[in-house]
Amino acid sequence: MFKEKAKKKFLLFYVILVYVFAFLFWWNYLLYSKIEQHYADLVKFESLKYQVYEGGTSVDFKSTEEFQVLNKKFKRQKVMILTEGIVFFIILTLGMVKIFQSFKQEIAIARQQKNFILSITHELKSPLASIKLMNETLRLRTLDKEKQNQLIASSLSEVDRLENLVENILIAAKIENDQYGFTKEALNLSVLSNQIVTYYKERKDIALSADIQADIFIQGDKTCINSILSNLLDNAIKYAKNSAVTITLKQIKNKVELSIADTGPGIPNEEHSAVFNKFYRVGNEETRQAKGTGLGLYIVKQLVQFQDGKVDIEHNLPSGAIFKIIFNV
């Protein structure tokens, strides 16, 4: 349905484009023809007037000074018409290219929004269904204490997943509307990072290792830093699957470097900047194995920039990706 609508819009655009250029060409041709006809009639009229005789010899009008003046004037008019036509053609072409690019961008955004709706539907239904199933199991079956604790832990993990999803949607909306408030204060980034690592080790089934230098302080917003760390770790865990994830924190002179590395499939060079776009997701949401909303990395980049930092992607050879954030101290 979406592809059909896009095809119809592109077809309409091309029809209008052909019509406009055909009209421009026809208008220029008619104007040029009219000037030429007027010039020919004028030369003919002046030639009749110039039938003078000197010693019985007629003087050709085309050999007179008046004709040279008239001919120069006609050439100037031709050049002016052609120049105006070319300038108008260039302006129109640039305008059409701009409209076409804007049109393609709108279609891309519409496609991403469609994928976002499909994704958010899955992301909401999946944990809700799991929570319902686990609660039903606890209610209807008699389980030993260990099984009960496992189900409760899994249920809490799904609740955390829902909470993070809702939090990301709210943050993205606030960023979009310039309503996200920041309060800068002295933060012990080492302590915050260790707290996040401990939380993920307890609640996530992932091989997470940390190399965190002690007592690194930055000026920033605590909620903002926690959101950055959570989204990067969630992204790494999602694509690393059963592989290792490593978080590293160190200070080099007046720069603080925070990096999160995974050993997943990695990110192609051509997509390094695109992954930070809002709703950006590779492939089709209906067939993609790794689910998500396309908001996590967008939020990371926006929040890092709000903290006057910079985020980049590097290859984690032999496989995987490294998200590296630089904060100024």
The confidence score (pLDDT) of residue 53 equals: 44
> Going by C-beta distance under 8 Å and a sequence separation of 6 or more, which residues neighbour residue 279?
109, 112, 113, 115, 116, 293, 294, 295, 298
The confidence score (pLDDT) of residue 128 equals: 82
Q: Domain segments of the chain: what residues?
A: 2-112, 119-176, 185-328
Q: If we measure between CA atoms, which residue out of 248, 214, 216 comes closest to residue 233?
A: 248
pLDDT digits (tens, 9 = 90+) for 134-148: 888 888 888 888 888
Q: If we measure between CA atoms, which residue out of 295, 281, 296 comes closest to residue 230?
A: 296
Count CA atoms within 13 Å of residue 129 on its CB side: 6
Strands of 244-252's sheet in order across:
207-212, 244-252, 255-262, 321-328, 310-315
Interatomic CA distance for residues 195 and 222, integer angstroms = 12
* Ramachandran angles phi, psi of 53, nearest 5°: -125, 130
Would you state the torsion angle of the CA atoms of residues 232, 238, 243, 249, taken in this order, to the nearest 10 degrees?
Answer: 10
Spans of the chain, pLDDT less than 50: 2, 52-56, 283-287
The confidence score (pLDDT) of residue 211 equals: 93
CATH assignment, 119-176: 1.10.287
Tokens 């002046």 — which residue? 46
Would 119-176 and 185-328 be classified into the same CATH topology? no
The confidence score (pLDDT) of residue 54 equals: 44
In DSSP terms, 250 is beta-bridged to: 257
Strand pairing class (255-262; 244-252): antiparallel
The confidence score (pLDDT) of residue 139 equals: 83
Count CA atoms within 13 Å of residue 15 on its CB side: 6
Rg (CA), the chain: 35
Helix (H) or strand (E) holding 211: strand 207-212
pLDDT digits (tens, 9 = 90+) for 285-315: 444 555 667 788 888 999 999 888 999 999 8
Interatomic CA distance for residues 209 and 200, integer angstroms = 10
The confidence score (pLDDT) of residue 212 equals: 94
The confidence score (pLDDT) of residue 32 equals: 67
Q: Which CATH number fits domain 185-328: 3.30.565.10, 1.20.1260.10, 2.60.40.10, 2.40.50.100?
A: 3.30.565.10
Q: If we measure between CA atoms, which residue out of 102, 217, 92, 205 comes closest to residue 153?
A: 205
The confidence score (pLDDT) of residue 189 equals: 94
The confidence score (pLDDT) of residue 173 equals: 78
Q: Where are the beta strands (DSSP E) in 234-309?
A: 244-252, 255-262
